[in-house]
Amino acid sequence: MTSIDLTSMQFTVVVPAVDEEERVADVVTESFRGGAERVLVAEGGSTDRTAEVAAAAGAEVVTVAALEPGGPSLGKGDALWRTVALVDSPVTVFLDGDLFIDGTDFLPRLLAPLLDPQVVLSKASFERVRPAGVPREPGRITQLVAQPLLGLLHPDLAVMLEPLSGQVAARTDVLRQLSFEVDYGLEIGMLLDVVDQYGPQAVAHPDCGVLGHLSQTEAALGAMSAQVMSAALRRVEVFAPGDTRPPARPPHGPAS
């Protein structure tokens, strides 16, 4: 692969983490190796040594509950919304705290599309770590929920392999002008909002290599699926009577 010159790009990595002591140090290390000036680990109420392990790896650990507006984190999206207010670089990268990165060029691949001034959001496509011989395919929520929803609501996005990817690079001033779903509705909500405000050409979906995540339980996947559906339907003003999710966090406003 041709090397990508990102020496002039300043970026901060934000890692939401709850009980991720086994993986978070590697995510922090990979972030610095990929060129991050700063790594913020948004610690959301762990009961293990996530904070200590992340700090030992060189991250700045911030306690989500202590950030504005205060109180326990409402979920992944809420943790990222509170923490992005602390970012002082032109570009922000979101990486999950349980990530396994196979290779050294993940961040350059993710960031490269932002060298084009037209692109404001780069969302990683990737091959999942899986047993030998098992074909490449998206995650279960993507296949059963996100892609069918996008096929109905926004057909030009239905071709994305990983529309729910949490590995994202974006212009910080754009992030501050978006509302954030507080939970796992964040990813599809952010994608739809960027396309609505800037057009589909503002979103890149680069192949970033091989990544792995810890597996979720069936119960957790069910709850996450409901959050994804709710976030998408809210954007076409369809409100289900059983939708009791908190409202999205409002935009911070343009960066100063």
Model pTM score: 0.89
Question: Is the residue at 242 inside a domain?
Answer: no
Question: Is the residue at 256 inside a domain?
Answer: no
For residue 118, pLDDT over 50 is answered with yes
Question: Is the residue at 247 inside a domain?
Answer: no
Per DSSP, the three-state class of 189 is: helix
DSSP strand pairing (121-123 vs 168-171): antiparallel
Question: Is the residue at 123 inside a domain?
Answer: yes
CATH number at residue 124: 3.90.550.10
Question: Is the residue at 5 inside a domain?
Answer: no
Q: Please state which of the ranges 19-23, 73-77, 102-106, 121-125 shows the lowest mean pLDDT.
A: 102-106
Domain that holds residue 209: 11-234
Question: Is the residue at 104 inside a domain?
Answer: yes
Question: Is the residue at 64 inside a domain?
Answer: yes
Question: Is the residue at 135 inside a domain?
Answer: yes
User: In sequence order, which ranges of the chain are alpha helices (DSSP H)?
Assistant: 24-33, 50-56, 76-84, 106-111, 140-141, 147-153, 172-175, 186-198, 218-234
For residue 249, the 8-state DSSP code is: B
Residues 206-232: tens digit of each pLDDT: 999 888 766 667 777 888 899 999 999
Counting the structural domains of the chain, the total is 1
